[in-house]
Structure 1
Amino acid sequence: MMNVLAIDTSTGHVVSGIVQVPADGGDPVTLATVDVDSPRGHMELLTPGILQGLDAAGMTPDNIDAVVVGTGPGPFTGLRVGMATAAAFGDALGVPVHGVPSVAAVAATLPDITAADGDDAPDTTAAGTGTTADGDDAPARAAQATDRREVLVITDARRREWYHARYALTPGTTGTAPTLETLSPPAVDTPAAVVADAPAGVPVLVASGVAAQVRELFGPDRRILDDDAHPSARSLVRAALATGADLRADAPPLRALYLRRPDAAEPKPRAVSPALTGDATARTSAEPTADTPGPGERPVVVTLPPEAAPRCAELEQQLFPGDSPWPVEGFIAEITAPRTHFLGLVLPDGPAAATGADGEGAPTAATGADRDAADRGATVTGEVIGYAGIAVNGPAADPECEIHTIGIDPRHQGRGWAHLLMEPLMELADQLGAPVYLEVRTDNDAARGLYRSYGFEEVGLRRNYYQPSGADAYTMVRPARRADTADGGTDQGTDGAADRGTDATPDGDVTVVLGIESSCDETGVGVVALDRRAGGGHRVELIADEVASSMDQHARFGGVVPEIASRAHLEALVPTVRAARRALRRRTGRDRPDAVAATIGPGLAGALLVGSAAAKAYAAAWQVPFYAVNHLGGHVAVDAVAGPGGNDAARAGRAPAGGDAARGAEGTPDGGDAARGAEGTPDGGDTLGHAVALLVSGGHTQILEVDGIGRPMRELGGTLDDAAGEAYDKVARLLGLGYPGGPVIDRLAATGDPAAVAFPRGLTRPGDAPYDFSFSGLKTAVARYVEQAERDGRTIAVADLCASFQEAVVDVLTAKAVRACVDTGATTLLLGGGVSANRRLRELARQRCDAAGVALRVPPLRLCTDNGVMTATLAAELIAAGEGPSGLGVGSDPSLDVAVPLVR
């Protein structure tokens, strides 16, 4: 027997159930199902319904062997709730998740239908509202026909269109499942087109939303078998089996049947005014940083062949010009040496890294590395952007490992990709039970932080180690760890799935919290540890911080497209959670958290649904508490891991990528000390007290009064029109600088004159709202200035224009924020949000805070933008304060007020 969790949210029905597949391969049997007609209740009803069905079937989540979910087509928002929930349940339990077209599952209800004339009436065991646990499907079996039956399925596509597909189902005999043949694949068309193309005599299964229209257009001669047709738990499993799925086997990643492109139009290219002077190349292709994704997708970890040596040597010359860079011959010797493992990072969309007939010499995906990006052993071609080598020395019974080199292309540093190379190296060492040694330049804080995050310690100093530079090196060592210790005693396989026997109870008074952030265009998953101390007090330590951004998908549209963001979240969420869980296993030996948190609002409605639905499913599957927290409260809370101790942990958990173990490829960390925030908290945990928070991003520009992390905040002011980040993007487009605008304007402004143009400062006159902002007038002023300069035949340097615009923005932001501190008596100003990475904003804020006697707190650069760490940290602080969890029936709130830190 096999127990399958079945889920569908492609229609107005919220469907879940437990279905048993007989060992002999016969027709599946419904053990329990919950089916509620609630078109807007998917988020609130689905996970509680799953637990209700499990309870009715006398089961717990650990009894589930596989998950089957409907993949549409259907209204996008509701559809993704079911798919995110199914994907998270399967990942949490370590079981396969199979997708099946929802319209195929509707067709698979045919064996459960008997008519009013003895041929077609619905079987009540698989429909209706509430829970059943009958276990007896004799009426359905008796009603099965032995002949092949065709059916046309029609559901509501909205916008005056229908989804439709045509199938032929042949019922199975004793011990065999039915077979389902696709005669016409799922499509979307106008009603007139569907009616015109429908074969005569084929009966119809139609969803309730369009049933009346279908009856009217097809006329009385067309047989309507069911006018509230929708997938049932049983028909979902039946459809999967009938289309040949092996439910015990791994399945391809879930893909929704959208059938429509997102509603987004690319803006027409704007001609750059001839009044603007400056290097156009510099304007449009400024050096990528952590804020600006480079070309291609997430890189794949590969095993490098000797043919990749020239590219590695090319990178070596860029990274280590003063430290005897390896030549091509040196890389060939290293790559081909026995007991040496040489890995690379490859961007699949880049130019070929290795050439040869039929792909000979191309890199192959590395065993155990970046398993979500490529199949093991699959050939991968693309641009090599990083490399790493580790040697295994000594006898097999007592081996030692030594990292020889790690390097990342300078264009792609600062994005956390060094972890993709480090993880498989550490996995290899753990499998061997070997200690790992390396040397690192004493002045390379970024690389040292990266290695400390993997358990390395400095054990010696080697003077003048690097030549000809004469730089000193620390010797660092990571003690031997057995694989069963490093991974918590679980056999994870290639998908990082959990061993369901792992104990989630922490050692001592430590609570591990996993947080999911999906309010906009970044899928963030963070893990923190709440350590309660004897005698009171607590500490929040960062364990993992993984972010998958869809920014590059929005760039051509000039801004975030909500539908694209939601689709990207659905695809990225499980791989990002898996990466965070790998870090959790590696750094603590544990596999599951003690609590799960999600951003519940404010944010984009569709994006919030994906992350919060998945988070609830993870919590339900692991049987741990769920916390639905405020996005803006998270930006404030992340400061709790941003001081010495906490701050060090944050920097180590997201150390900039790169950094040769021996020579230091990375250089200084993200923006230096100023970029990291020198103040911070003294020892982690909530020491913020009475403060003012200035949160500045592409979606928010607000001044909040804070009285401690996790407590209700009060909005003192906000933008009346464009957010500051939005203004940056619009001005960047006006100047032909591309998207996102913030990083490139900041870089160009550094070489310009901020006094070149006296742009207006909005809402700064006497009588204006003291803490509100308006940036639409500034954006217009920039446009008018350029137009006037063009008419006058004058020119202006783009760098000067950027500097003047930026000065107007940060002048108003900092002046109002510091004034709020003085007026409220707050002694601390906290900067947060993506725009807080801006160099001039940090500089001017520090100057004005110093003058006003106000302490400035700025989280590390990588924790200023949206991330899962802030979500997990806010939940950890709420737990430390004794707050109870949220219910699994809580809904997302795109307009959640700042005064609500936790939604129950």
Structure 2
Amino acid sequence: MLVLTIDTATSYVVSGLVEVNRRAGSWGTFEYSATTLTQRVQRNPRGHMELLVPHIQESLAEAGLRPRDVEAVVVGTGPGPFTGLRVGMATGAAFADAIGVPVFGVDSLSATAASVAAGHQECLVLSDARRREWYSATATEAGRLVAGPAVGKPADVLAEHGSKPIAVALTAEVARAIEKLEGEEKAATEAWRIITEDAYPTPEGLALAGADQLWWLEGEGHFVERLGRPLVAQYLRRPDAAEPKRKERTAAVNFAAAAEDVAAFDRLEAEPANAELTVELLTLDRASLADLEEMARIEQELFSEESPWSLEAFRAELANPRNYYVALRVAGQLQGYAGIALNGPTADPEWEIHTVALSPEQQGKGYSRLLMDKLFEPLQVIGGPVYLEVRDGNAPAVGLYESYGFAVTGRRKGYYQPSGADALTMFRPDEKRPSQAGEGVQDGAEGIAEQDVATPGSATDAAESMLVMGIESSCDETGVGVVRMSAPAGDQEETGSAPVVEELVNQVASSMEQHARFGGVVPEIASRAHLEAMQPTMRAAMRSLQKRTRIGQRPDAVAVTIGPGLAGALMVGAAAAKAYAAAWEVPFYAVNHLGGHVAVEALTEEGREPLKNAIALLVSGGHTQILQVDGVGKPMTELGSTLDDAAGEAYDKVSRLLGLGYPGGPVIDRLARQGNRKAIAFPRGMMRPQDSRYDFSFSGLKTAVARFVERAEAAGQVGENAIPVEDVCASFQEAVADVLTAKALRACEDTGAKVLLLGGGVSANSRLRGLAADRCRDAGVELRIPPLPLCTDNGVMIAALAAQLISEGAQPTAMSVGTDPALEVEVPILTE
């Protein structure tokens, strides 16, 4: 079996192609052997992003192979420094997903033992965890974990393992630290048999550590294991995130109109301190017999009136090798499950969903979609239509199934007993067989296989049309979008028309809720969320793409946000995008996030005409800028920006100050619509004649709101005399919108621009849109605002920008490119 191996948990960038074989051993066991065909191993603690995918491509070329020749991917899942670790995991998961093979995670310390501990029954592996701590684990020479992994201070590790005559493998960083030890700590290491002072997981060691998982691929009864299990990073530490000190809600503001928002915020504040860390604590895996009691408990809780399944019924379900059951766990506790059964042979499969269940306390969080995504993984391998029954009147469940392509086909009277409720029957056609879907293109697996291995084609047979995928991960949204780009009618050079760019797919997963208790985005939590969300978001996008185009359709190019943004978040998206492009063998484009917000206008009718001398006002939680634009995809000039808080950040801070929660934009906007925007004369920052014409400052406005509330409370303006919260929100919002639009129109007047583009998350604000429309109309300036779904960060805008750049002849980006968290607006694309 040809296996691609990857590890970025240490200072080394490790990748290789390994041929893994097994033979029968004694007592029903198996023995594994691994032969490295090609490998790239380079020490570069900060070069994982730049080196990994180029190394994979070099190894494939050296071996005379193509990505589709790889049969499985094995990835080290740590423990290791977080940012580097995620590069390898995002790359491995994306590469495997792109070519439709399983990806398996292995403990990086165990893989290190398998790499260096030959001849030693067990080996203690120590690696650097930074912060003056070490990671530790004990594993066999075959890479089987015995104890750990764990993280701790050197003194604690030495107290547990010191003075023992054991084999020890050290990374170079730990070896240097041990050299500096003195006294009792130094003496504790003298009994060790140190077998290497430069340990890391080799490609061969990774393959051997994952060998047991690889051979679950065999056998009709275990075909579903072809997809591996979700990769779970072994962080061993929680994110550094401190909750802001809670301030008592003022009595000077009447919160009657915000009762629901206030209650929601208070519930959040009352939750345990670690409740927001679902990105770390949420896992999806195969259900097992150990889950029987919890499954039966949840079943009884949910379906007590409808003859819930018994524990023995679940035992029979899990014991059937043709059933595939997945489990959702929060903090290690089973909270949901779903099961699907294969009917008929794998050559002509049919499926039936038996159950999808989620405990009441976890409902309404989007977890049902996580279960469905995992449940549908076998279908992506062998295809097949799917059937199910759902209780009539269960609108949320019906809506969920419809979003996955199911349609109601009939009714079964009195299906549920003893209540006698009817069941709706639903059906989802085989998406891997176009003829069943009514397209009549090809029949059977042969045609599909041929399409899968072909070089990715364009959206239509016309050579001038192509599909461009965009991936966005600069902050707290994981976005995957696809656009179709085609040439305009007539000669493009003669007409001067821009290419026709059409949105096909827009999938976005947000980690916003996980940041709520902190009052703003926590970079480490955002990065972890991107790693968790990337694969399901991409799979949902590809399902949507196949519905819009044809089965087996893949993008002709992949683009990604390379900056500006949060460093760790950018790396997850960029690593995945590189891997998808490399695996699909299509060009890769690294583009500017801010340019993407401008490029969204190319999706409108107006955007099909060349954009000359326009002003863009980009307003979000991280940016507030006025840009001069001379064409989509062209270098932009920054005329002004905020000197302190971004506008969206000011919304969040004022919302928290008032006790309304996070994010502040939607709740303040909603309340402001009911209020008097002239009730309080809040200051307009940077609007004096001597101030910068285009720069902004919102920190003073935030302070003014706080001072107003304090003065009102001190003056006894409480109870019946308290000012309505909606008036505070309306007055604050008016001050923000007034300054933003005034300065944007000033820039239009000064530059002679006749088009104002409004973009960024705050562009969804109703008052900003309304005031901008009024002032643009009065000034004779055309206002262009994207549809609401495209205001916040998304992959469509990245794809649209890349499409424009491609149409103008931009060269693909080198796979060795690194992310740039501070990328300037003057740079629309990085080429190397």
CA distance in 2, matches of 1:892, 1:152: 35
| Residues 498 and 591 in structure 1, CA contact (< 8 A), matched pair in contact too | no
Q: What is the match of residue 774 of structure 1? A: 697
| Residues 686 and 708 in structure 1, CA contact (< 8 A), matched pair in contact too | no
Q: What is the match of residue 28 of structure 2? A: none
- Residues 1:688 and 1:65: Cα distance change in structure 2 (over 3 Å): same
- Residues 1:421 and 1:491: Cα distance change in structure 2 (over 3 Å): farther
Which amino acid letter does the alignment assign opposite residue 756 of structure 2?
L
Per-residue displacement from partner, 1:801-835 (whole Å, max 9, x unpaired)? Answer: 11111111000000001111111111111111111
Instruction: Map 1:183-582; keep pairs closer than 5 Å.
Output: 183-198=146-161, 200-215=164-179, 216=181, 217=186, 218-241=188-211, 246=216, 249-279=226-256, 280-284=258-262, 354-356=303-305, 359-360=308-309, 375-376=339-340, 377-382=354-359, 421-425=402-406, 482-483=436-437, 485=439, 500-506=452-458, 507-508=461-462, 509-533=464-488, 535=490, 536=492, 537=497, 538-582=499-543
CA distance in 2, matches of 1:812, 1:419: 43
- SS of equivalent residue, structure 2 residue 358: coil
CA distance in 1, matches of 2:178, 2:515: 38
Q: What is the match of residue 110 of structure 2? A: 104
- Residues 1:243 and 1:149: Cα distance change in structure 2 (over 3 Å): farther
- Residues 1:778 and 1:847: Cα distance change in structure 2 (over 3 Å): same
**Displacement of 1:195:** 0.7
- Residues 1:887 and 1:9: Cα distance change in structure 2 (over 3 Å): same
Q: What is the match of residue 569 of structure 2? A: 607
- Residues 1:405 and 1:505: Cα distance change in structure 2 (over 3 Å): farther
**Displacement of 1:26:** 3.1
Q: What is the match of residue 289 of structure 2? A: none
- Residues 1:375 and 1:624: Cα distance change in structure 2 (over 3 Å): farther
- SS of equivalent residue, structure 2 residue 554: coil
**Displacement of 1:209:** 1.3
CA RMSD of aligned residues (A): 3.6
CA distance in 1, matches of 2:137, 2:325: 40
- Residues 1:540 and 1:243: Cα distance change in structure 2 (over 3 Å): closer
- Residues 1:749 and 1:241: Cα distance change in structure 2 (over 3 Å): same
- Residues 1:505 and 1:368: Cα distance change in structure 2 (over 3 Å): farther
CA distance in 1, matches of 2:86, 2:391: 45
| Residues 602 and 608 in structure 2, CA contact (< 8 A), matched pair in contact too | yes
CA distance in 2, matches of 1:349, 1:39: 46
**Displacement of 1:150:** 1.6
Task: Verify: 1:22 aligned to 2:21, yes or no.
Answer: yes
Instruction: Map 1:665-676; keep pairs closer than 5 Å.
Output: none
| Residues 114 and 208 in structure 2, CA contact (< 8 A), matched pair in contact too | yes
- SS of equivalent residue, structure 1 residue 259: coil
Per-residue displacement from partner, 1:821-869 (whole Å, max 9, x unpaired)? Answer: 1111111111111111101000000010011100000000010000000
Q: What is the match of residue 125 of structure 2? A: 153
Instruction: Map 1:94-173; keep pairs closer than 5 Å.
Output: 94-110=100-116, 145=119, 149-169=121-141
Per-residue displacement from partner, 1:96-154 (whole Å, max 9, x unpaired)? Answer: 0000010001111135xxxxxxxxxxxxxxxxxxxxxxxxxxxxxxxx54xx6121100
- Residues 1:755 and 1:708: Cα distance change in structure 2 (over 3 Å): same
| Residues 630 and 900 in structure 1, CA contact (< 8 A), matched pair in contact too | yes
| Residues 22 and 33 in structure 2, CA contact (< 8 A), matched pair in contact too | no
Q: What is the match of residue 578 of structure 2? A: 616
Gaps of 5+ in 1: 112-143, 170-178, 288-294, 300-347, 388-402, 430-453, 455-479, 644-680
- Residues 1:729 and 1:517: Cα distance change in structure 2 (over 3 Å): same
CA distance in 2, matches of 1:487, 1:776: 60
Instruction: Map 1:636-785; keep pairs closer than 5 Å.
Output: 636-643=598-605, 681=606, 685=608, 687-785=610-708
CA distance in 2, matches of 1:107, 1:198: 16
- SS of equivalent residue, structure 1 residue 805: helix
| Residues 74 and 92 in structure 2, CA contact (< 8 A), matched pair in contact too | yes
**Displacement of 1:296:** 13
- Residues 1:885 and 1:609: Cα distance change in structure 2 (over 3 Å): same
CA distance in 1, matches of 2:214, 2:772: 62
**Displacement of 1:404:** 14
Which amino acid letter does the alignment assign opposite residue 197 of structure 1?
E
Which amino acid letter does the alignment assign opposite residue 75 of structure 1?
P
CA distance in 2, matches of 1:82, 1:160: 24
Q: What is the match of residue 44 of structure 1? A: 50
- SS of equivalent residue, structure 2 residue 681: coil
CA distance in 2, matches of 1:498, 1:744: 52
**Displacement of 1:357:** 8.1
CA distance in 2, matches of 1:728, 1:872: 29
**Displacement of 1:379:** 4.0
- SS of equivalent residue, structure 2 residue 404: helix
Q: What is the match of residue 798 of structure 1? A: 725
- Residues 1:96 and 1:272: Cα distance change in structure 2 (over 3 Å): same
Which amino acid letter does the alignment assign opposite residue 812 of structure 2?
P
Q: What is the match of residue 382 of structure 2? A: none
Per-residue displacement from partner, 1:507-530 (whole Å, max 9, x unpaired)? Answer: 112110111000000000001100
| Residues 746 and 802 in structure 1, CA contact (< 8 A), matched pair in contact too | yes
CA distance in 2, matches of 1:724, 1:498: 52
**Displacement of 1:282:** 3.7
Structure (1 or 2) with the greater helix fraction: 2
Task: Verify: 1:862 aligned to 2:789, yes or no.
Answer: yes
The alignment's TM-score, normalised by the length of structure 2, stands at 0.78
| Residues 21 and 29 in structure 1, CA contact (< 8 A), matched pair in contact too | yes
Q: What is the match of residue 632 of structure 1? A: 594
Per-residue displacement from partner, 1:66-108 (whole Å, max 9, x unpaired)? Answer: 0000000000000000000000000001000000010001111
CA distance in 1, matches of 2:195, 2:704: 64
- SS of equivalent residue, structure 1 residue 158: coil
- Residues 1:21 and 1:578: Cα distance change in structure 2 (over 3 Å): same
**Displacement of 1:284:** 2.6
**Displacement of 1:210:** 1.8
| Residues 717 and 773 in structure 1, CA contact (< 8 A), matched pair in contact too | yes
Q: What is the match of residue 371 of structure 2? A: none
CA distance in 2, matches of 1:767, 1:350: 69
Q: What is the match of residue 548 of structure 2? A: 587
**Displacement of 1:426:** 6.2
Q: What is the match of residue 894 of structure 1? A: 821
The alignment's TM-score, normalised by the length of structure 1, stands at 0.72
Residue identity over aligned pairs, in percent, reads 54
| Residues 502 and 591 in structure 1, CA contact (< 8 A), matched pair in contact too | no
| Residues 368 and 424 in structure 1, CA contact (< 8 A), matched pair in contact too | no
**Displacement of 1:184:** 1.5
- SS of equivalent residue, structure 2 residue 32: coil
- Residues 1:353 and 1:544: Cα distance change in structure 2 (over 3 Å): farther
**Displacement of 1:159:** 0.3
Per-residue displacement from partner, 1:52-77 (whole Å, max 9, x unpaired)? Answer: 11112221111100000000000000
**Displacement of 1:532:** 1.5
- SS of equivalent residue, structure 2 residue 736: helix
Which amino acid letter does the alignment assign opposite residue 673 of structure 2?
A
**Displacement of 1:427:** 11
CA distance in 2, matches of 1:873, 1:498: 30
- Residues 1:368 and 1:825: Cα distance change in structure 2 (over 3 Å): farther
| Residues 203 and 223 in structure 1, CA contact (< 8 A), matched pair in contact too | yes
